[in-house]
Structure formats: structure tokens, C-alpha cells
Amino acid sequence: MKKSLLGVVSACLLAGVVQAAEPVQVKPSAPERYTVVPGDTLWGIATRYLSDPWRWPEIWEANKQVYNPHLIYPGDILLLCKISDRTVVAVDQGGGCDEVAGRMASGTPLLTETQMANGTIKLHPKMRELPLNLAIPTLPLKDIQRYLNDSRVLSREELERAPYVIAGTDGRLVAGSGDRVFVRNKSGLLKSEGSYGVYRAGMTYVDPESGALLGYEAEDIGAGRLITLEPEVATLKVSRTTQEIRVGDKLLENEIGQIAALFHPSNPDGVAPGRILRIFDSISSASQNSVVVLNRGHVDGVKPGHTFAIYRKAVVVPDRVSNEAVKLPAERTGMAMVFRSFERVSYALVLSANSPVRMGDEVRAPN
């Protein structure tokens, strides 16, 4: 993949970013030069520069002329520049802020030479070529990896249509890694070759406000590969299990490699406030780096990268002086970014929390 000057805002992302009425606030401690190192995340870098890191696209120098313009790589030197009363951050190509200003003024960032302010001509070196997987991620991938690859939420229709296990070898009702299982393919969704995950219907998500069914958590049970496919029955060789496979468990095409982890902080403009439906790996509360489920998804306009402020659910307390019931204002307790969205719900990572985050807490656009 070719890499030159990188800008974080692509044309698609610009369409979804709302410029707030107030100018973006750069931290007084923001570094004038910062060298990206392995282990950095985009959110961490944005937090170095901004009090409101979800507004990062507003200060990054856009470069719509390169493929995947949002990527940042270890070794890149970031410059903080003041250009025409606008604060921008850009990758240094060797000419400092004067060169950044020249690129912005010309509107053609992919230059082989730049006219400097003192009249000299600066020649640019050839572009480096770097693999995509060397780019820094938006979020710490170790905290969300299993939710990118092994978890998903299905609608009732998707769950009912999915092929399902009808038996193990020798008529057994359970199977494990290394075993073969027989799968009923009434819907015809299985292909002659391919890797499939084995899932079991788990938690049911119901909207706490409308009572509508939002979907079913598909619990990861294992994975395998088809070795035969007859008109209605297939044979799956099981390669991995998290627990015993049972009759009725569902097969879904493996999504590994199909889900991008490249997304960038943005304000969820037009998305109605929602609620936290679930906290993974906890029955009580979430903290920083916890994964939560929100009752907003594709149909509500939610996309990966959308960043939400978390508010503790407002409570009603008695006013013992006037003997009235008074609803207290909701308290802001943290931030969360969506990294995967489904039709009616989304997965989000808690990025910060100044007090415990609980199920039922509200999420809103931070701007």
C-alpha cells in the first residue's frame, strides 16, 4: 500500500462529521512535534492534543488523494501548526509547518516539489510503501479482538434461517474439537467450501424504552470447515471449541478478515440518545476498556467510530423541605466509542470512566 502524507478524513468521513459551533480546543500541553511509536492508538494520540478527542478529524490535515488517507504509522512525525487562524496537525514531510501551509494552499497534497515561503523549491522523496497492518489502530485491539471476530448479534430471521447441527458422528448429541458434525442446510446458505463459526443463541436484547426486540447475541461455541456438502446435509470438521457443540447450534460464515478495525473518532450526528443494554464480562458495572452493548445500530445511523458521552441514569429523590419529588440531572461519567454496529445494537469500548458505568446508563452525542 502506498503511503505519503496521511490525512485522517476521507470524503465519506467528512460527510458524517459535524463541525461544532465552538472552535476545537487544543490542550495547552499538546506537543508541537510528536513521533508515533508502536503501541500508540489514534484515540491516545487524539487525547494528547484535544480536550475533546472525538473532534480529531477537525484538526487533521485532510488528504483525499491517497488510498486509506486516515492511516498513521509508527515513525511518522506529527506537527502542530497554526495556519491562517486554524490549528492543524499533519505528518511532517521534512519542510515543517511552512510546507504544510503550502500543501493546504495549493489543494494538491501529493506534490513532488513545494514552493517555500523564502522562494526556494523543496523536492520530495519518493513515497514509502508500508503494509496496512503496520498502521496504528484506533483502539487497543487486544481489548476488542474477540468481539470483532467471534461475537455478533442476529435478528430473529437470521437466527431462524441459519443452518444447524442435527447430529454428531455415530448419532452422538455432543461434539468437540476434532470431531465431525452433520449440519442441516434447509436454507441453502452453506457453500461447498468455507470456514464456519458455530454459535448458540444467547442473550436476548430488548429495547428498554419501546420494548421492541433488538436481536439475539450469538454465543461463540467453536469453528470448523466443511468437508462435504450434500443437497440438504453438510459435514463439518470441528477445529476449535469453547464448549461442547450440541444439536441445534447454528452455523454462520466465518467473518475473520471481513471486519475492518480502521475507524476514527466522530460525533454521532443525528443519532438519538440511547441506553447501555449489557456490560460484557460483568454483572454490575463497567470501567475503562470494558465492552458494552448499546441499543442503537445501523437503522439509527450508528457507525464504527461514533463516540458517545455516558451519563448516569437520572434518579428521583425526595425534597425533604418541600415534600416534593425532584429529578436530579444526569451526571456525565465517561466516554465510549462504537467499534462494531449491527442492525439494531452496537458494541462500544469504554474509553474513560470517572465512576462506575452501569446498565441503563444513557449515551448521547458528546457535542
Query: 3-state DSSP helix/strand/coil percent for the chain, to nearest 5?
Result: 15, 40, 45
The predicted-structure confidence for 336-366, as pLDDT tens digits, reads as follows: 999 999 999 999 999 999 999 999 999 999 9
Dihedral, 243, 245, 248, 252 alpha carbons, nearest 10: 90
From residue 232, how far is each of 118, 199, 258 by CA, in Å? Answer: 75, 19, 27
pLDDT of residue 171: 76
φ/ψ of 302, rounded to 5, equals -80, 135
φ/ψ of 301, rounded to 5, equals 95, 10
The contacts of residue 193 (CB under 8 Å, 6+ apart) are 225, 226
The pTM score is 0.80
The predicted-structure confidence for 53-84, as pLDDT tens digits, reads as follows: 999 988 987 555 444 556 788 999 999 999 88
Residue 205: exposure state from Cβ atoms within 10 A (0-12, 13-18, ≥19) = buried
Look-up of cell digits 420494548: 211
For each of the chain's 367 residues, which pLDDT tens digit applies? 333 333 333 333 333 344 445 788 999 999 999 999 999 999 999 999 999 999 998 898 755 544 455 678 899 999 999 988 889 998 888 889 998 888 788 765 444 455 555 556 555 444 444 455 578 888 888 889 888 878 899 999 999 999 999 999 887 888 899 999 999 998 889 987 789 999 999 999 999 999 999 999 999 999 999 999 998 999 999 999 999 999 999 999 887 655 566 778 899 999 999 999 999 998 889 999 999 999 999 999 999 999 999 999 888 999 999 999 999 888 999 999 999 999 999 999 999 999 999 999 999 999 7
Asked if 9 and 70 touch (Cβ cutoff 8 Å), the reply is yes
Residue extent(s) of CATH 2.40.10.410 domains in the chain: 274-364
CA atoms within 13 A on the CB side of 238: 27
Fold of 274-364: Thrombin, subunit H (2.40.10)
CATH number of 146-253: 2.40.10
φ/ψ of 41, rounded to 5, equals -125, 155
